[in-house]
Chains A and B, each alone.
Chain A
Amino acid sequence: MNERSSSPAWFRWLNYIFLALCAYATLFPFINIIATSFSSSRAINAGEVFMWPIEFNLDAYNNLIRDGQLIVAMKNTVIITLVGTALNMLFTIMAAYPLSKARLKGRNVMLMAILFTMLFSGGLIPNFLLVNTLGLVNSYWALWLPALISAYNMFVMKSFLEGLPEELEESAAIDGASEFTILWRIILPLSKPVIAALTLFYAVGWWNSYMNVLIYIRSTDKLSLMVKLYQMIDLVSTELLRGEGVLQAVITPESIRAAAVVFAIVPILCVYPFLQKHFIKGVLLGSIKG
């Protein structure tokens, strides 16, 4: 407690309570959906579920597991995320490391070329036609290749590398280390904070993205978790319009949708507590130096 707390006690308490309510409001929808996924259809349809499962059962999860489609979709999402993130980091480093060297001829041209892609892009249709021409539709390469480097992340990495002392590399070079060794043994270990942050940004992006899968992936068994989930909610949003009952037969029951949602967020919620400080560091790295 530092001595800035000149505010009256009632204000401080009010503030603490208000912020707690904000946090509660932020979390409530998640709690509600988790509770829904464990509740009986009767309780859900009566709108009784609040924060705790009513008439607890695991039917929704059993259904999902028996159906198996979400498991396949989750496996696909893991593949998309792992390979996508690895490629992103490889290319981001390949771009950022040389471009962090002020002595490099032609560096400004390259930096301008990358910056310009942040300001103006080819747009959805030309991108699609390109991927189509390259014959990548329905392959995960259609997701990975067009998104190899995020220009913003590249600039964050580049400014971080520019901040490393030059002498380290020079002395290693005098000791006879090859350039690859310098990059691998000296630069990258020193860049752990920025590598951690960017890896997380890329990985969360891949895990959550679905527009690209929607556009490029056609086979049902290759769809990602988010697109599968979207197909499940889409059926219900039609229910909203046509009134209850008409589409009842094809509608995914509320509890199964809820279970699918839980399925999709649990991995993120599990890693979140361990990784959140890297995210924050990443945001600040980007804002201060980028």
Chain B
Amino acid sequence: MKMNIPQPTGLPAEPGMPARKKASFWKQVSRNRFLYMLLVPVAIYLLVFKYAPMFGEIIAFKNYRLADGIWNSPWVGFEQFEKLFASREFYVVLKNTLLLNLYHLLFAFPVPILLAILLNEVRVEWYKRTLQNLLYIPHFISWVVLGSIVIALLSPSTGFVNYLLKGFGLEPIYFMADKLWWPVSFIVSGIWKEAGFGTILYLAAMASIDPTLYEAARMDGASKLRQTWHVTLPGIRSTIAILLILQVGKMMDVGFEQVYALRNDAVTSVAEVISTFVYTRGLVNLQYSYTTALGLFQSLIALILVVSVNRIIKAMGERGLW
């Protein structure tokens, strides 16, 4: 993030006239005092609510007790991390987090691309707009609501899906309580919520493809499928790349709200992810330092991922995230 700050005063910044330079600096600050005044509360906010908690991560190296506070709790070095890496639960939670993200990448990520390609073929404007508006709706609904709808729909006794299964003479399935079916329900519900809304960026990218490319392809006798392959997909390639890489950058994080809305005690072994684990162990069972160590581990890996991802984007010749 390199920005050129124009030198507003015509003074050459020569050595030997530091007093003048300093004066002009203060003059400049005072000329912009309204802007700085706006920024003061923002800076206080950042320090107190964003940077102080980062400093609070030091309790990962302490044995934090509420009564002692951050300062007086005893230092324990890397003991919390050693305990964490030696525990079986850490690997279960890490595995679940990575697996759910991997499934998402494999099965959910391509859906908006396919949907956008199909929507892009719709030539009747009002029909296309109606479809889009309907497909976007779940994006605006809370996971609690979507979760409770999913649970109701998949209920083995009263849910409509199992009613259908029974109608075909099949055994009802306990989707939400089955270790094999729970991840499926998780991914499908994620597609339900975000696939439609995810098409917006792809559709925008497709709209900016030069129509003469399609014309040329048609002249060459390219079928619809080949036009899609040779014109549409290359046209949205950079959008796909950026979104894909961003997704990889989030590998260590499965959103708390979706898991929390869908999980239950029967599937903990596949559904407990880092965010829910930190919540239950940290805030419900009050293991502050232990879970902070896990949180810190997660944040550091995430930071490394995002920074490397940004490198990759730039190396590919795309505009980086910063």
- Segment with Cβ contacts to B, from A24-32, A53-61, A63-71, A191-199: A24-32
Q: In this assembly, does A128 line the interface, its C-beta being within 8 Å of a C-beta of chain B?
A: yes
Contact partner of B39 among A7, A8, A110, A258, CB < 8 A? A110
Contacting residue for A229 out of B8, B51, B131, B144, CB 8 A: B144
Classify chain A's interface size: 35 or more
Given the known interface contacts A19-B122, A26-B192, A98-B39, the answer about A123 and B53 at a Cβ–Cβ threshold of 8 Å is yes
Pick out which of these stretches binds chain A: B90-98, B100-108, B289-297: B289-297
Contact status of A124 and B141, CB under 8 A, knowing A240-B266, A261-B149, A283-B200: no
Q: Is the interface of B mostly helix, strand, loop or mixed?
A: helix
Q: Is the CB of B49 within 8 A of A146?
A: yes
Nearest to A146 among chain B residues (CB) is B49
Q: In the bound complex, do residue B122 and residue A16 qualify as a contact, i.e. CB atoms below 8 Å apart? A: yes
A residues near B143, Cβ cutoff 8 Å: 208, 210
Out of B133, B140, B149, B177, which one reaches A268, CB within 8 Å? B140
Question: A47 touching B141 by the CB < 8 A rule?
Answer: no
Q: Given A47-B163, A115-B322, does the pair A105, B5 have CB atoms closer than 8 Å?
A: yes
Smallest beta-carbon distance B115→chain A, Å: 7
A97 to B64, CA, bound (A): 41
- Enumerate chain B residues within 8 angstroms of A18, measured Cβ to Cβ: 118
A272 in contact with B140 (CB, 8 Å): yes
Q: Report B-chain residues with C-beta under 8 Å of the C-beta of A220.
A: none
When C-beta atoms are compared, the residue in chain A nearest to B218 turns out to be A6
Give chain A nearest CB distance to B32 CB in angstroms: 6
> Do the beta carbons of B144 and A233 come within 8 Å of each other?
yes
The interface residues of chain B lying within 8 Å CB-to-CB of A276 are: 133, 136
Please state if A22 and B152 are interface contacts (CB–CB under 8 Å): no
Main secondary structure on chain A at its contact with chain B?
helix
Task: Choose, from B15-23, B81-89, B154-162, the stretch at the interface.
Answer: B154-162
Q: Assess whether B158 is in contact with A45, with CB atoms less than 8 Å apart.
A: yes
The answer, yes or no, to whether B201 is at the interface (CB within 8 Å) is yes
Q: How far, in Å, is B177 (CB) from chain A's closest CB?
A: 5
* Contacting residues of chain B (42-61) with chain A, CB-CB under 8 angstroms: 42-43, 45-46, 48-57, 59
Check if B148 sits within 8 Å of A91, measured CB to CB.
Answer: no
Which 3 pairs between the two chains have the least Cβ-Cβ distance?
A: A122-B53, A126-B56, A208-B142
Q: Which residues of A line the B interface, CB within 8 A?
A: 1-2, 4-8, 11-12, 15-16, 18-20, 22-23, 26-27, 29-30, 32-33, 36, 44-45, 47-50, 91, 94-95, 97-99, 101-105, 107-108, 110-115, 117, 119-130, 145-146, 148-149, 179-180, 204, 207-211, 214-215, 226-227, 229-230, 232-233, 236-238, 240-241, 244, 254, 257-258, 261, 264-265, 268-269, 272-273, 276, 279-280, 283-284, 287
Instruction: List 5 extra interface pairs beyond A120-B302, A261-B149, CB under 8 A.
Output: A30-B137, A47-B160, A104-B35, A124-B282, A272-B137
